[in-house]
Amino acid sequence: MKRYLDCTASDLEKMSKEEFLKAIAASEGRLIVCETIGKVQPMLGDISNAEFVAAMGADMIILNVFDVNNPEVNGLPKVEKSEIIREIKKLTGRKVGINLEPLEVGVESSVATDETWQLSSGRKATLENAIKAVEMGVDFIVLTGNPGIGVTNKAIVDTLKIYKENIGDKVVLVAGKMHAAGILSEAGENIITKKDIDEFIIAGADIVLMPAPGTVPGITMEYVRELVVHTHKAGKLTLTAIGTSQEGADTATIK
């Protein structure tokens, strides 16, 4: 078994789900995952943002705001919509996943969302949409929430159970939020707790996503370390995410 870091595009293409997870673990936390939005104007004009981030060092790519009913990634060569994911994988040589957003019946967002993030039917974390995503070639599905959508941790757990039963052998399941996603009762340290992690894992999560230290108030280095250790003890992987605009700061601020 190779580390993901040492894999060629051909190696990645023929990996099983379990081999994929082992290759990630063998890389010991050195992988960079980058999230891009395909329906916006590409940074380089006629080259997709997915290709751009791969060239800049991204090891895996997440497509955000990707509608499986109306897939759109600007900058790609013209291909059938059902082939967009496979085309990105061919052009980048990377594993590619998408975000899907689960909703809890009767729960609405605590805050309004703008037109950019409004949830379309093809972004909802339904089983039908997940099956479409797998058929399109995604390697992993991230159950999370964009700003103001109103995604709860309970909705993530409930969806994980369904996905594990129906597609759990076909795709890696990532679970967790980068911010409150419109649920203010799940802000700060309540974005994710050890209890949430346990519930995610029991429900079928292969990888637990959490905010990177310092990206959200209350999410400290010490707190994240506790959560990561807790997850690793359960035999699962973690993904720490910057989903709150710090990467858009000037170089001096980041330093």
Q: Which one is predicted more confidently, 210 or 109? A: 210
Element (H, E) at 211: strand 207-211
**Tens-place pLDDT, residues 152-194:** 999 999 999 999 999 999 999 999 999 999 999 999 999 999 9
* Averaged pLDDT, 57-68: 98
Look at residue 118 in the predicted model and tell me its pLDDT: 85
Per-residue pLDDT band for 253 (boundaries 50, 70, 90) equals confident
pLDDT of residue 254: 75
Angle formed by the axes of helices 127-136 and 153-167, nearest 10°: 60
Domains of the chain: 1-27 (no CATH), 98-254 (3.40.50)
pLDDT-derived band at 126 (thresholds 50, 70, 90) equals: very high
Pairing between strand 140-143 and 33-37? unpaired
Amino acid 117: pLDDT: 74
- As a whole number of angstroms, the distance between CA 16 and CA 76 comes to 27
Dihedral sign from CA coordinates of 135, 56, 237, 102: negative
